[in-house]
Amino acid sequence: QVQLQESGPGLVKPSGTLSLTCAVSGGSISSSDWWSWVRQPPGKGLEWIGEIHHSGSTNYNPSLKSRITMSVDKSKNQFSLKLSSVTAADTAVYYCARVVVRGVISGMDVWGQGTTVTVFS
């Protein structure tokens, strides 16, 4: 079955760029599914960041859109997130997730374990 694993620096300096990668195993990133990022600040709820399809199509959270770049690397079966101009408010656990398509979009059925990113000078 499909598994996801996030990786990237755990510490980012204010005004810097947060960069994370999600490796997909047990399945192909070139399926009909979408690939998403969700974050959760300490003690708070879930926030959708955005999603990408292997075709390169993206959907971004309007509140973060100006700072987000997502990409897919089909050769490595992975997708990535870059969030620029970070502040302490971007400190969170970042999850990658699969948005499964079963004829229609059917929710986020596979999640990575999450990686903690702290914005800290």
Partner 1 sequence: DIQMTQSPSTLSASVGDRVTITCRASQSISSWLAWYQQKPGKAPKLLIYKASNLESGVPSRFSGSGSGTDFTLTISSLQPDDSATYYCQQYSNYRTFGQGTKVEIK
List of residues contacting partner 1 (CB under 8 A): 36, 38, 45-48, 51, 59, 61-63, 95, 97, 99, 104-109, 111-114
Closer to partner 1 by CB, 56 or 62: give it. Answer: 62
- Output the smallest distance, CB 99 to partner 1, in A: 8
- In whole angstroms, give the CA distance from residue 54 to residue 75: 11
In this complex, which beta carbon is closest to partner 1, that of residue 24 or of residue 108? 108
Least distance (Å) between residue 12 CB and partner 1: 21
Distance (Å, whole) CA 36 – CA 88: 22
The label of the residue with tokens 């596979």 reads 110
List 94's β-bridge partners, or say none.
39, 115
Q: Which is nearer to partner 1, 15 or 116 (CB)?
A: 116
* Parallel, antiparallel or unpaired: strands 115-119 and 11-12: parallel
